[in-house]
Chains A and B, each alone.
Chain A
Amino acid sequence: MYKILEAGKLAGNIYQMVVEAPRVAKHCLPGQFVIVKADEVGERIPLTICDYDREAGTITIVFMPIGASTEKFAQLQAGDSFRDFVGPLGCPSELCMEENLEETRKKKILFVAGGVGTAPIYPQMKWLHEHGVDADVIVGAKTKELVILEDKFKSVAGNGNVYITTDDGSYGRSGMVTKVIEDLVTKEGKTYDHCVAIGPMIMMKFCCLTTKKFNIPTVVSMNPIMVDGTGMCGACRVMVGDEVKFACVDGPEFDGHKIDFDAAMKRQAMYKTEEGRALLKLREGDTHHGGCGNCGGDK
């Protein structure tokens, strides 16, 4: 059993938990994920590692309840436990590896965070900051109440900038993250050598279309359906260029300009029924950010 030490809401419908998992905390690096199972009958649900404390042996996860399993997680309180919590899975972000540090230091890096994808960006920026690399970050949310982790980003941006934007203009800049990328590059004289975009698939897709115009290499974190997370089932396969890759062992981060997002979004919706889609939209209410690619919420 893996004890939940802290549980609470970050904003709107976004939950954060700190979980005791010493083996994971000892080895994880930014970019990796865990698989979490609530109880005997629960599904195995992949969640990105959003922070870790090696001394305390804890992992922070951030999630949005969108279906039966994540909703079950949301019911859990501090003091409760997850039955299973396995990781770290997947490859660490290439930016956050000691062996690449020299290369990384030469780069001008832009992070683009969308919705619940905001949380996984934080450990990457934190790691880079601790290793003397400062980056810019664009944080996008639907509306003011859903902007998360602003202070934390400011604390690790160093000399980099934190650009907040809301779709409805209620806070920070106004418009989607893609608009901010355009503005920064075309109007504000910014140049970047590397971009990391994490968020709903639809957001990553459009980010990639934008960065491609400006020739900025872009890494995205794919979140396909998974079962085991160890390379055993193939459920997580994604097309990268003309190669089939397993996101759980070869990823989850891939060259965004090579991803077939349309196919990935269709695949991700495999278990989605008409009824389920309606429920999803209803439940998410105003946190609905699109991204599942099937419910039409982003249209």
Chain B
Amino acid sequence: MADVLKKVPVREQDPKVRATNFDEVCLGYNKEEAMAEAERCLHCKNAKCVQGCPVSINIPDFIQQVKEGNFEEAYKVISQSSALPAICGRVCPQESQCEGKCIRGIKGEAVSIGKLERFVADWARENGIKPPASAAKNGHKVAVIGSGPSGLTCAGDLAKLGYDVTIFEALHEAGGVLVYGIPEFRLPKLDVVAKEVENVKSLGVKIETNVIIGKSVTIDELLDEEGFEAVFIGSGAGLPMFMGIPGETAKGVFSANEFLTRNNLMKAFREDYDTPIVHGKKVAVVGGGNVAMDAARTALRLGAEVHIIYRRSEAELPARAEEVHHAKEEGIIFDLLTNPKEILVDENDAVKGIRCIRMELGEPDASGRRRPVEVPGSEFDIDVDTVIMSLGTSPNPLISSTTIGLDTNRRKCIVADETTGQTSKDGVFAGGDAVTGAATVILAMGAGKAAAKGIDEFLKNRK
């Protein structure tokens, strides 16, 4: 008999093998494993896990269906709240959301809600189950800017209500961070992301790629000339930050966005694609979030020895626990309580090393985390040929600077009402990273959902 305090283990590619390929790391549950894990759920009346989920999936209900082997029913339950379950099951920080609240977690391991959700979504896809069809068309046109999780969700929900929705995407491929940022080995592009995008399209949503709002066409033109009655902005927070230390424009210094975009969107890891990427021998990745883990594990797979340089300690790493665990298994070296001071370059302006200083934790700062302070005189050099900066991103000013009457805050984020998505401009709504700054897939989806409702109400009241 299995230990009820422990999760049914999920099958994964062996760390040694997966460190050399870009195939998915986690293989997911099969039917038997999923049903066994579902047995562990206590079907709490006042389920705490649901409170931890930003879109309030009816978790006990869907797990009950899994336990009984009714996977299609389980999928229907999840679909009521989430449009992208195959994605959330894979990338949500479950330990701080649904699973973090699970009663089972008090005395043992939480129920593996994410893995079960993923199983249900994968099963539905493999068995050709489609999300429920949309209502009759109502003839009202809505434009959605950006095809990341917030845009896809908002568009999908509006289409279900009968709206005629067009998504405008700046890049040549739909999916936002799901295609350009999160790597193949965590989120397969063809099997998972493209299929979810197809699902949204099958609801009647049109996607026009290669359109940069603010450059190719403005929001005011969409409203005044192209017949759109409302606009949702889900343009994300893609602008990378740099540290401002010497050597940062040298050859061999990349933003994590550039490195990941080359590899994921442009598929530089594949021989048959034209875009080049630098295969470093020794790589330093600066930062400790999901983005840093993804960049580090990508560089590792391209053949490098990789160091993560992070100024706080392990407990403060903002990345998902599973990613940190996987990164360690694969052999990523963690240089914690360490901060870069300078990037060292050779006579050709190419990176030859990184000068760092040791840190120690001092008093807690505004975020409640203990503030790292430099240990005087503790500078040391690490020999590296590539440095990847992963210090966070902020919203791009392309839209805010070209749309009259759209308010932004100090951090360049668009100001929008949390429950309706309404911005300072009539008929214009916003959500996701563009409003909150870099956050998570599920929060972006939640914002897209809220805005779809907000837009529906706005247009109904206007009619």
Which residues of chain A have a CB within 8 Å of any CB of chain B? 23-24, 26-27, 37, 41-44, 68-69, 72, 83-89, 227-228, 230-235, 237-239, 244, 249, 263, 266-267, 269-271
Contact B274 A263 (CB under 8 A): no
Contact A86 B238 (CB under 8 A): no
Partner of B258, one of A42, A69, A233: A233
Per the 8 Å Cβ criterion, residues 238-267 of B in contact with A are 238-240, 242, 244, 248-252, 254-255, 257-258, 261-262, 266-267
A269 surroundings in chain B (CB, below 8 A): 251
Given contacts A27-B215, A41-B274, A249-B396, 8 further A-B contacts (CB under 8 A): A41-B272, A41-B273, A84-B172, A227-B266, A228-B261, A231-B398, A235-B254, A270-B251
Contact A233 B249 (CB under 8 A): no
Partner of A233, one of B170, B240, B251: B240
Known: A244-B248, A244-B249, A263-B249. A230 touches B212 (CB 8 A): yes
**A296 CB to nearest chain B CB (Å):** 14
Per the 8 Å Cβ criterion, residues 183-212 of B in contact with A are 209-212
B396 surroundings in chain A (CB, below 8 A): 230-232, 249
B238 surroundings in chain A (CB, below 8 A): 230-232
B209 surroundings in chain A (CB, below 8 A): 84
Complex CA gap A68/B267 in Å reads 16
**A113 CB to nearest chain B CB (Å):** 25
Contact B349 A263 (CB under 8 A): yes
Across the A-B interface, give the 5 residue pairs with the lowest CB-CB distance, nearest first: A233-B258, A232-B238, A86-B210, A234-B255, A84-B172
**B103 CB to nearest chain A CB (Å):** 42
Complex CA gap A23/B258 in Å reads 27
Known: A231-B239, A271-B276. A23 touches B211 (CB 8 A): yes
Partner of B266, one of A44, A232, A234: A44
B348 within 8 A of A: yes
Known: A86-B212, A88-B216. A237 touches B172 (CB 8 A): no
B242 surroundings in chain A (CB, below 8 A): 234, 237, 244
The secondary structure that dominates the B interface is: loop
**B386 CB to nearest chain A CB (Å):** 11
A249 surroundings in chain B (CB, below 8 A): 396, 398
A244 surroundings in chain B (CB, below 8 A): 242, 244, 248-249
Partner of B217, one of A27, A72, A271: A27
Known: A42-B274, A86-B212. A235 touches B258 (CB 8 A): yes
**Nearest-CB residue, chain B, relative to A226:** B258
**A204 CB to nearest chain B CB (Å):** 18
Known: A86-B172, A239-B249, A266-B251. A227 touches B215 (CB 8 A): no
- A69, A230, A237, A263 interface centre (most CB from chain B within 10 Å): A230
Partner of A227, one of B210, B262, B274: B262
Partner of B240, one of A24, A69, A84, A232: A232
Contact B170 A230 (CB under 8 A): yes
B266 surroundings in chain A (CB, below 8 A): 43-44, 227
Known: A88-B215, A227-B262, A249-B398. A233 touches B210 (CB 8 A): no
**B266 CB to nearest chain A CB (Å):** 7
Known: A43-B266, A83-B172, A249-B398. A234 touches B274 (CB 8 A): no
**A24 CB to nearest chain B CB (Å):** 7
Complex CA gap A236/B240 in Å reads 12
Contact A86 B216 (CB under 8 A): yes
**Nearest-CB residue, chain A, relative to B347:** A266
Complex CA gap A260/B115 in Å reads 52
Complex CA gap A52/B257 in Å reads 32
Partner of A266, one of B171, B217, B349: B349
Complex CA gap A228/B236 in Å reads 15
B44 within 8 A of A: no
Partner of B349, one of A68, A72, A237, A267: A267
Partner of A232, one of B239, B249, B273, B276: B239
**Nearest-CB residue, chain B, relative to A276:** B276
B80 within 8 A of A: no
Contact A232 B257 (CB under 8 A): yes
Contact A266 B212 (CB under 8 A): no
B275 within 8 A of A: yes
Complex CA gap A244/B246 in Å reads 12
**A266 CB to nearest chain B CB (Å):** 4
Complex CA gap A84/B257 in Å reads 21
Complex CA gap A231/B238 in Å reads 8
Complex CA gap A287/B169 in Å reads 38
- A84, A85, A227, A263 interface centre (most CB from chain B within 10 Å): A227
Complex CA gap A46/B72 in Å reads 47
**Nearest-CB residue, chain A, relative to B170:** A230
- A72, A270, A271 interface centre (most CB from chain B within 10 Å): A270
**A194 CB to nearest chain B CB (Å):** 26
B278 within 8 A of A: yes
Contact B275 A233 (CB under 8 A): no
Contact A89 B255 (CB under 8 A): no
Complex CA gap A15/B342 in Å reads 43
Contact B249 A87 (CB under 8 A): no
**A67 CB to nearest chain B CB (Å):** 9
- A44, A84, A228, A237 interface centre (most CB from chain B within 10 Å): A228
Complex CA gap A233/B259 in Å reads 8
Partner of A267, one of B172, B249, B278: B249
Complex CA gap A244/B257 in Å reads 17
A239 surroundings in chain B (CB, below 8 A): 249
**Nearest-CB residue, chain B, relative to A27:** B216
Complex CA gap A120/B244 in Å reads 33
B217 surroundings in chain A (CB, below 8 A): 23, 26-27
- A24, A41, A42, A69 interface centre (most CB from chain B within 10 Å): A41
B267 surroundings in chain A (CB, below 8 A): 41
- A26, A84, A266 interface centre (most CB from chain B within 10 Å): A266
**B277 CB to nearest chain A CB (Å):** 9
Complex CA gap A244/B389 in Å reads 15
A267 surroundings in chain B (CB, below 8 A): 249-251, 349
**A254 CB to nearest chain B CB (Å):** 14
Contact B240 A234 (CB under 8 A): yes
Partner of B215, one of A41, A87, A232, A233: A87
Complex CA gap A26/B221 in Å reads 12
A89 surroundings in chain B (CB, below 8 A): 212, 215
Contact B349 A228 (CB under 8 A): no
28 A–B contacts from the bound complex (CB under 8 Å): A23-B217, A26-B217, A27-B215, A27-B216, A27-B217, A41-B267, A41-B273, A41-B274, A42-B274, A43-B275, A44-B275, A72-B274, A83-B172, A86-B210, A88-B216, A227-B275, A228-B261, A230-B170, A230-B171, A230-B238, A232-B180, A232-B257, A233-B240, A237-B249, A244-B249, A249-B398, A266-B349, A271-B278
A69 surroundings in chain B (CB, below 8 A): 274
